[in-house]
Structure 1
C-alpha cells in the first residue's frame, strides 16, 4: 500500500499515518514516510498518548490496518478516538468488536448472507438491540460492509515497474523458460510445475492429500514449495512418503524463500499456482497474478473471509469481460473435488513446444489463461491503485455523510 497515501486527492482526503511499529528502513516504509501528508512514528507511544494525538488531530475516520496481527493497537480503537472506525487489508475477517463500524470488502470476500440482519452501528443503543438476535440468527459479521464494485484488495505492483518496460508476450515466454532452466536445471522439458509459495502453516491435511492425489494423477508434474520454514521440508516430505509413496514424494521440490523482488519475478516459472483453501494466499496471490501465473483457488467457507480472499483477488486480476468471467469459472472451484478435478485437467492438457529459438512455449488452456492475465495486467482492477484510492475516497465521503445524517447500513460503491 506504499503509494496509497500519496495518491489521495487533497481536496477529498488528507491521510494521517500513525506507525505503530519501528521503521525497518525498507523502501516501502521510506516512501510512506515521504509521501504521507502527515506521518507520526508512534511505535514507542503509550495507548493514552496515541489516543490523545488522534483526538488532537481531529481525525474523522480512523482505519485499522492491523486487526489481530502483529503490531496491532486495538486498545486505541476501543477508546473510540474518532467518530468512524474501519478495518481493511490487515486482517481478513470480522473483528467482532463494537468499536469497528465498517469493513472494506466485496461480495466475493464477504457474502451478504453472512451479515447480522440488524447493523445500524450508530450508538450503544444499536449494540444492545443487536444483541437480541445474537443467539437465534446464523450470521458472522457485525460490522457494516463497504462493498467495492471491484476487488477490495490493494497492491502496488503497477508502481514497481513502468508500463513502457513491459516485455512482449514472446519475450516473456523466453524469459520464463530461461528462468525455469536456472531454477530447475535438471527438470525435463515436458514437466509441469505446480506451486504454492505460502507459509507452510497454511497447508492442512485435506489440502496436502489433494495435492498428493494431483501429483499421482499427473506423473509429469512436480510440486514447488518454499522452505517457509526450513523444518517444514522434512516433515512434508516424510508425510508424502507415508501417504503416497516415493514416486510422488520425490516430485515435491523445495527452494529457499527469495527476496521480494526476486520472489515476484521467479513466480512466472510456476505453471499453475495451487492455493490453500483453508487460508488463502493474500499478498502472495497478488504477487503470483502480477507474474501472469494462473491461480487455482477454492473459497471453502462462506463465513471465513481468509478462505475467500484469493477468489476476490483473482477476479480483480482478470479482464471485466466474458473471457475474464469464463477464466474465473475455470480457476475458482466450488468444492474440494472440483478443485482437484480442475488442477488435474489443466495440468494434463498442458505441454511445452520447443521453439526454434530454444525456449518452450506453453500449449493448452493453462497457456491461454496465462496470456489473458498477461494482457490484462495494466488494465485490470487489481493493479489499478489509483482506481482503488478513488473508490476508497468515495467510501470515506459516504460513510461521513451517513454519520452526519445519523444513517446506518452497508455501503455499495
Structure 2
C-alpha cells in the first residue's frame, strides 16, 4: 500500500501523481482501498469525463461486488408496509469531522420519530466529544472498526436492519464491501461522497434537484436518485462571528478567497482564477486552511499564469474561530473544480461571503451550484471557464450589490431548506416509507421526489 499512500499524500500536497495509483493497483489489484483512493483521485481530475468516471466505478463493483452477488441472502423482514422501521447508519466519520455539521441536525429530528429506531455502526478508531454527543441520538451504537466485512454484515443482519445508510462512499474508513454483501433489504448512500458507489447492492442515493438534476445524472449512478428539499441540512459553527461590512468598501479592491483543501487545486483551476485576477490588477487572493508548508507547487502554478506571489496570502489551518474570522477579509470565494467545496462553501455563505462556482458534468462539480441555486444566487453559477471569468468580473465590478448581498446572505441561508432540518427529516422519513413500501410489494427501486410533497403527521410518524 506504500505507493497508494504516496499517491494520496502527493495529491493532498497539491502534487497529484497518477502513476502512484496505477502502480499500486497493478501490484495489489485485490486491495479495495487502493481502488477507492483511485476513484476519489479521478473525481478530482479536471481531465476525467463523466462517462469514463462512471465506468471506473462500475469496474470497482465488478471486481469486488460481483463475486458476492450469488451469496446475497433472502431477507425475511416482516413485509408490513406500515410497521416500525429499523434504520442503520454506517460511517467512519461519526466524530469530529465535517460530516457532523450535516448529519447532527438531521439526527436530532429523526431521533424523535416514533416510527423509526436508529442504529449507528461507527467505524472510527477513537471516540471524541462529537461522537459522544452523536451517540445520544441513536437507540443503538456499535463500534465496528475491528469487525471484518463478513462480521459486520452478520451483525447488521442480526439487528434486522430494514434500511441501511452509507455515509462514506469512496472515502476513508468506508465499509462498502459490507454493503456489497447486501446485509439489509434496502441500502442507501448519502453525504460522504459526491458520486455513485457503483454497487448494484446500493439501491438509492439522496440528493436534491439542484445538486443532481435527473438529466444527466440519472445515468451516472447505479442507485436511483431520491430528491429532498435540500441534499442535507447544515449546522453553522455556533460561535461564528457576526457578518462584517464588505472589505472592498474600505480596501478599494476585491479580495477573493478559497478555503478548500489543497488536493482540489490543479493547474486548470489556477489558470481560470488567474484570468479573473489578471483582469482585476488590484485584486488579491486569500488561500486559507492550507498546510503549514508544501504549497510551492501552487505558487508556481500562479506564477506561470502571471500572478505574483505578492498578490497571494496563505493562511495555515487553524481552529474554527480563526477560520471563520478569516472570512471578514474576503469579498467573494472562488470555488475549485471539478471537485467543488461543500462544507467550506456553507461556512462562507454563513459569513456573508458568496461563492463563484463552476457547475460541471460530474457529481463532484455540483456542490457549489447546489447551494448557490438553492439560495437563488444564479449569477454565481458559471457553466464553463469563460463564463466563470465573465461572471466574476461582472460581480466584482458591482461592489454595491456585493455589499448589499453580504448583509442579507446569512438571513437568506437561515430561511432556506438547508436550515430546516425538521423539514428534511420529515421528507426523508416519508422517502424511507416509500422505499419500504416498494420493497414490501416486491418492486424494484425507483426515482423518488419528496421535495414538495405534502406529508401528514400520520405519514411521517407512524406509531410503532
Bin the TM-score by the shorter chain: 0.7 to 0.9
Query: Compared with structure 1, are the counterparts of its residues 70 and 402 closer, same or farther at alpha carbon in structure 2 (3 Å cutoff)?
Result: same
- For residues 410 and 261 of structure 1, the distance between their equivalents in structure 2, rounded to whole angstroms, comes to 41
Aligned-pair distance for 1:188? 7.4
Q: Structure 1: which 4+ aligned runs deviate by more than 3 Å?
A: 229-232
Q: Are 1:270 and 2:330 matched, yes or no?
A: yes
Q: In 2, are the aligned partners of 1:204 and 1:278 still within 8 Å (CA)?
A: no
- For residues 35 and 239 of structure 1, the distance between their equivalents in structure 2, rounded to whole angstroms, comes to 46
Instruction: State the TM-score, normalized to the length of structure 2.
Output: 0.70
Q: What pairs with 1:14-413 in structure 2 (closer than 5 Å)?
A: 14-25=117-128, 27-114=129-216, 139-148=219-228, 150-157=229-236, 160=238, 172-173=243-244, 189-226=251-288, 228-244=290-306, 246=308, 249-301=309-361, 304-316=362-374, 318=375, 325=376, 328-350=377-399, 364-408=400-444, 409-413=446-450
Q: In 1, are the aligned partners of 2:122 and 2:145 still within 8 Å (CA)?
A: yes
Q: In 1, are the aligned partners of 2:267 and 2:301 still within 8 Å (CA)?
A: no
**Partner secondary structure for residue 223 of structure 1:** strand
**Partner secondary structure for residue 337 of structure 1:** helix
Q: Deviations over 1:40-71 (max 9, x none)?
A: 11122222222122112111000000111100
Q: In 1, are the aligned partners of 2:289 and 2:318 still within 8 Å (CA)?
A: no
- For residues 433 and 427 of structure 2, the distance between their equivalents in structure 1, rounded to whole angstroms, comes to 10
- For residues 18 and 258 of structure 1, the distance between their equivalents in structure 2, rounded to whole angstroms, comes to 30
- For residues 24 and 196 of structure 1, the distance between their equivalents in structure 2, rounded to whole angstroms, comes to 30
Q: In 2, are the aligned partners of 1:109 and 1:312 still within 8 Å (CA)?
A: yes
Aligned-pair distance for 1:243? 2.5
Q: Are 1:7 and 2:67 matched, yes or no?
A: no
**Partner secondary structure for residue 382 of structure 1:** helix
- For residues 241 and 389 of structure 2, the distance between their equivalents in structure 1, rounded to whole angstroms, comes to 34
Q: Deviations over 1:197-221 (max 9, x none)?
A: 1112212222211111211111221
Aligned-pair distance for 1:34? 2.5
- For residues 77 and 100 of structure 1, the distance between their equivalents in structure 2, rounded to whole angstroms, comes to 7
Q: Deviations over 1:289-310 (max 9, x none)?
A: 1212111111122xx1010111
- For residues 166 and 298 of structure 1, the distance between their equivalents in structure 2, rounded to whole angstroms, comes to 28
Query: Compared with structure 1, are the counterparts of its residues 24 and 259 closer, same or farther at alpha carbon in structure 2 (3 Å cutoff)?
Result: farther
Aligned-pair distance for 1:376? 1.7
Task: List alignment gaps of at least 5 residues for structure 2.
Answer: 1-102, 451-464
Paired residues, what number? 346
Query: Compared with structure 1, are the counterparts of its residues 14 and 333 closer, same or farther at alpha carbon in structure 2 (3 Å cutoff)?
Result: same
Q: Deviations over 1:48-100 (max 9, x none)?
A: 22212211211100000011110011111111111100000011001111010
- For residues 429 and 152 of structure 2, the distance between their equivalents in structure 1, rounded to whole angstroms, comes to 24
**Partner secondary structure for residue 97 of structure 1:** coil
Q: In 1, are the aligned partners of 2:358 and 2:383 still within 8 Å (CA)?
A: yes
**Partner secondary structure for residue 206 of structure 2:** strand
Corresponding residue for 1:119? Answer: none
- For residues 57 and 273 of structure 1, the distance between their equivalents in structure 2, rounded to whole angstroms, comes to 45
Instruction: State the TM-score, normalized to the length of structure 1.
Output: 0.78
Corresponding residue for 2:65? Answer: none
Query: Compared with structure 1, are the counterparts of its residues 397 and 2 closer, same or farther at alpha carbon in structure 2 (3 Å cutoff)?
Result: same
Aligned-pair distance for 1:371? 2.7
Query: Compared with structure 1, are the counterparts of its residues 383 and 258 closer, same or farther at alpha carbon in structure 2 (3 Å cutoff)?
Result: farther
- For residues 437 and 328 of structure 2, the distance between their equivalents in structure 1, rounded to whole angstroms, comes to 44
Query: Compared with structure 1, are the counterparts of its residues 368 and 232 closer, same or farther at alpha carbon in structure 2 (3 Å cutoff)?
Result: farther
Aligned-pair distance for 1:154? 2.9
> What is the CA RMSD across the aligned residues, in angstroms?
2.3
Aligned-pair distance for 1:115? 5.2
- For residues 329 and 227 of structure 1, the distance between their equivalents in structure 2, rounded to whole angstroms, comes to 27
Q: In 2, are the aligned partners of 1:192 and 1:222 still within 8 Å (CA)?
A: yes
- For residues 166 and 206 of structure 1, the distance between their equivalents in structure 2, rounded to whole angstroms, comes to 34
